[in-house]
Amino acid sequence: MATTPGRALGSLLPTLLLGLTAGQPFISLTGPSQRTSPGDSVPFNCTAGPFNSQNFSRDFNVTWLKDSDEHPASAQRLVPDNGGNDFITSKAWVTLTRQDVSSEITCKVTHRALADPLKTTMNLSQVLRVVPTLKITTEPSGTHVHVQDRVNLTCHVLHFYPTHLRLTWMENRRMIQTLVSPQVTRNPDGTYSLEHTWQAEATLEEREFACWVVHDEQPPLKTNVALQARLHRQGKGQSVQPYKLQGPLQRSEPGTRIRLTYTSSGFSTHQVTVTWLKNKHELPNPQTSVQYSGHTYNVTSSVLVLLTDDDVFSHVVCHVEHKLMRFFQKTIGLDQYLRVPPTVTVSQSSTSSSLVAATCLVQRFYPQNVHLAWLEDCHTLKGTEQPTLKKNDDGSYTLENLLLVNASVQGPERVLTCMVEHEGQPPKRANLILSTAAHTAYKPIGSTGPEMPALIFVVFLLGLKVLLVMSFTVTYICRRWNL
């Protein structure tokens, strides 16, 4: 986070300059390493020094200011270093609000040895995340829409910070458009808003339009509307039948039975039969009821459909006969109700002695919207390449993402995690222990004596155990951190 060096101290007291290890005092201010939402309390640390211990230790004041108001400090102490100098540290907790996008926090240290106080300031916008609110408006509005009218659906994304987001339009859970970082307007309070319009043609069939927003790499937000044209009366009293063909509102995994329902009204007799077919095979046990209502009949029919892994291209036909004549037939793609979760694996290969290529393979998922992130010690690694997406023959998707890691950066064993989020489900993780040693261990296998492979095998088993323990630990720690 922001570190502002203290201003040059021209008029220090001579003793401070005489102190051999006491360099020019500086001041630094750090905040939380991740953005936080309004309502959360976050710590800021201020450190100033070095100051000569003997002379000035107890002769200082630290003041915190939020904008121009004094803000209470929660802890203040002196930390001695080895060279007889002290550093002053102070901590302040700030409860963030939405208005803090344009606020700043200042730490000011006065010390007898200083002519002017040391002072540093940080913008609270650096640590703040304001999650947008979403809504969709329709123009013309719902009650005045007729068949084939063009309707403007506008997704309003209101009051967010920072600006980066992705907006996706879905029609019956199928993606129709995605925008990365669409144009925003700035609000007087420093937050941003945007609106984006999708034009759709109204039909008698009810359709769901949804606007999804992924803001600042957070879990997606969603809002939706149903669009259906009003019954359009025509000349000689004959009317177009309004109907609803509905499935579940959430996608389901293979193995789940989903219910599809057809409802319609205005039939002149009760001689109505409804047949359901999945991929040309009749579905068993549909439940159909015909109810008298005024001078006409209402029909409701529903059926259970078992979703399978390979249903991306499957469809269900709803066939309605009235007085033994075909009256209505509609085909529904099952892909809009299906969610096939991915399997995630990570592997490593070495490209040179210091660079290691880690590959995250995300296999056989549907629909195609996934979000992939690499973490090391629970910190997101920035600047990774764009993943490559491939469509499989069965309609599912596979995604591969390569990460180049400098393995010569020393340290405790490094664990890379590939985290994949799919359709708002809890993220799936796969871990990899970076090991340059692994390559050198594998190399000599061919040329070593007979007992060597056994030894390597034992080492390998031990390594596997460590890997298991490590991956549990990482998952646990990351969960604790809510990553």
Ligand X SMILES: *[C@@H]1O[C@H](CO)[C@@H](O)[C@H](O)[C@H]1NC(C)=O
State which residue, 110 or 288, has the beta carbon closest to ligand X: 110
State which residue, 30 or 172, has the beta carbon closest to ligand X: 30
Tell me how far, at minimum, the Cβ of 51 lies from ligand X, in Å.
11
Tell me how far, at minimum, the Cβ of 45 lies from ligand X, in Å.
4
Chain centre distance of CA 375: 14
State which residue, 17 or 355, has the beta carbon closest to ligand X: 355
State which residue, 318 or 334, has the beta carbon closest to ligand X: 318
Tell me how far, at minimum, the Cβ of 408 lies from ligand X, in Å.
5
Other CB atoms within a 10 A radius of the CB of residue 385 amount to 9
- Among 335, 370, 147, 321, residue whose Cα is nearest residue 247: 335
State which residue, 353 or 368, has the beta carbon closest to ligand X: 353
State which residue, 89 or 359, has the beta carbon closest to ligand X: 89
Report the C-alpha gap between 75 and 87 in whole angstroms: 14
Report the C-alpha gap between 173 and 208 in whole angstroms: 8
Report the C-alpha gap between 112 and 472 in whole angstroms: 52
Tell me how far, at minimum, the Cβ of 122 lies from ligand X, in Å.
7
Tell me how far, at minimum, the Cβ of 255 lies from ligand X, in Å.
34
Tell me how far, at minimum, the Cβ of 351 lies from ligand X, in Å.
10
DSSP 26-54: EEEEE--SS-B-TT-EEEEEEEEEEEEHH
- Residue 204 dihedral angles phi and psi, to the nearest 5°: -70, -30
Chain centre distance of CA 304: 33
* Owner of token pair 């203040």: 76
DSSP 82-109: TTSEEEEEEEEEEE--GGGGG-EEEEEE
3-state secondary structure of 436: coil
The answer to whether residues 191 and 157 touch, using CB atoms and an 8 Å cutoff, is no
Tell me how far, at minimum, the Cβ of 220 lies from ligand X, in Å.
26
State which residue, 111 or 173, has the beta carbon closest to ligand X: 111
Q: Are strands 397-406 and 388-391 parallel, antiparallel or unpaired?
A: antiparallel
Tell me how far, at minimum, the Cβ of 414 lies from ligand X, in Å.
12
Residues that bind ligand X (CB under 6 A): 2, 13, 15, 30-32, 43, 45, 54-55, 59-61, 89, 91, 102, 110-112, 123, 139-140, 152, 197, 265, 291, 293, 298, 354-355, 406, 408-409
State which residue, 379 or 390, has the beta carbon closest to ligand X: 379
Other CB atoms within a 10 A radius of the CB of residue 383 amount to 6
Between the CA of residue 9 and those of 18, 28, 90, what are the distances in Å? Answer: 14, 15, 21
Tell me how far, at minimum, the Cβ of 184 lies from ligand X, in Å.
17
State which residue, 332 or 405, has the beta carbon closest to ligand X: 405
